[in-house]
Amino acid sequence: MHWISFLSLTLKGSLYLGTLYISLTFIVPVTKSLVESYFATSVSFNLDTIYLNWNTSFPAITVCELYNSEKIWDTSDSLFGIEHDFHIDDFVGEIAFFRGICTSCEMCEKVQCPDNFTQLLDVFRSKCHELIVECQYLNNIFDCCDQFLPILTEYGVCYTFNSVQARKVAQVQFKNNRMTGAGNLKFLATADIQVNVHAPIDVPYLFSEGMIRETVLLGNNKELILNVIEVYNHESVEELNYEQRRCRYSHEHSEQRIGIYEFYSFSGCIVECTVTLQLLYCNCTSHFMAVPSKNSLPMCDYQGLICLTDIHDRLVAERKSCDCMSSCEEPEYNIIYNTADDKQDSEKDFSDIHVALVELPTQRYVRRVSKTFLDLLSKCKK
């Protein structure tokens, strides 16, 4: 009798296990599909047109000085003497306006090149008060260098208006609403410059796509009229992890952060990732990123710059694969009107720059949580 009972229990156990196995072949794929769907579609975008009480971020305007051969020659004469080796001018130009390549660095094996790059930048790059003058915002005059603050970029030290990275404060300073009206900024530039227009959380960077960047030669005028599409994040969005919402907030730094910038942004992440690659391959980074008063990153000497030159193409390719996610707090700015570039030389000693919003926006995107964990559980239960 015992063996009959044992056989019965064995048959029941086998039946249960067989049923469980067959069930799992259906349950596992369905559950996997539900979980993947939850993570893929847990956030939605909606268009919001109830715009009466919005605050709209005026863009950050970053001004970077451009290479000027005449200034290099004149300053070299006064610093090194009229009889100096003129090959030094090429070297100084590539150091002061470094763009990732230094072809003249190889001559330093034969010629004694200046080795204090920090001093060269101090002498050959214009200070804020020398570069930007006569500033107005919403027709209110202000001291330019009170608001155009220095910021480290891959173009060297630039001067930026309304940047949270330069101010090291998370809140945007200049916002527009029904009380202020659409923002507009005017200033004069006293040298050839590059004007970058971008979100206040961003920084200018090399090979950027989608960032507004205009070259303004001395004596020419530039007017940019923009519209803006703001992205508002519902409070519940921050409760999701960044992989679910597929963006990072300004306080959510990536694992590869090295501390050049105060807040997370896609552009800042790309810059810091590139510096990490430079440290990996050459054990140093450029003098634009390694600033003794700002950080402790090792600065390349001329031999280090030769190394960076040798791996330049590799860096350009690898930085495209940097693990950098979009920012959750990134308005989109588009050009409505842009003055044509003046191809004729001008006699003026300054350039007139005007950047303005065409109007206050009447719509914005709202990022919301469309599926919660309870939705996942309820679907699994069904």
What is the residue extent of each domain of the chain?
47-368
- Cα 382 to Cα 379: distance, rounded to the nearest angstrom: 5
pLDDT at 23: 53
Q: In what order do the strands lie in the sheet with 231-233?
A: 43-48, 364-369, 231-233
Rounded CA-CA distance 60/164 in Å is: 9
Q: Which spans in 41-182 are helix H?
A: 69-80, 87-96, 117-124, 128-131, 144-147, 164-167
How would you write the pLDDT of the chain (382 residues) with one tens digit per residue? 555 554 555 555 555 555 655 655 554 444 444 444 444 446 776 777 766 678 889 999 999 999 988 889 888 888 888 878 778 899 999 999 999 999 999 999 888 899 999 999 999 999 999 999 999 999 999 999 999 999 999 999 999 999 999 999 989 999 999 899 999 999 999 999 999 999 999 999 998 877 899 999 999 999 999 999 888 888 888 888 888 888 899 999 888 789 899 999 999 999 999 999 999 999 999 999 998 888 889 999 999 999 999 999 999 999 999 999 999 888 889 999 999 887 666 678 999 999 999 998 888 888 888 754 444 444 444 5
pLDDT at 342: 74
Calculate the CA 5 to chain-centre distance. Answer: 73
Non-local CB neighbours of 320 within 8 Å, separated by 6+ positions: none
DSSP β-ladder status, 140-142 and 149-153: unpaired
pLDDT for res 40: 44
- Structure-derived torsion over alpha carbons of residues 99, 282, 302, 121, reported in degrees to the nearest 10: 50
**Paired strand residues for 223:** 354
240 three-class SS = coil
Alpha helices in 159-246 (DSSP H): 164-167, 242-245
pTM of the model: 0.85
Dmax over CA atoms of the chain, in Å, equals 115
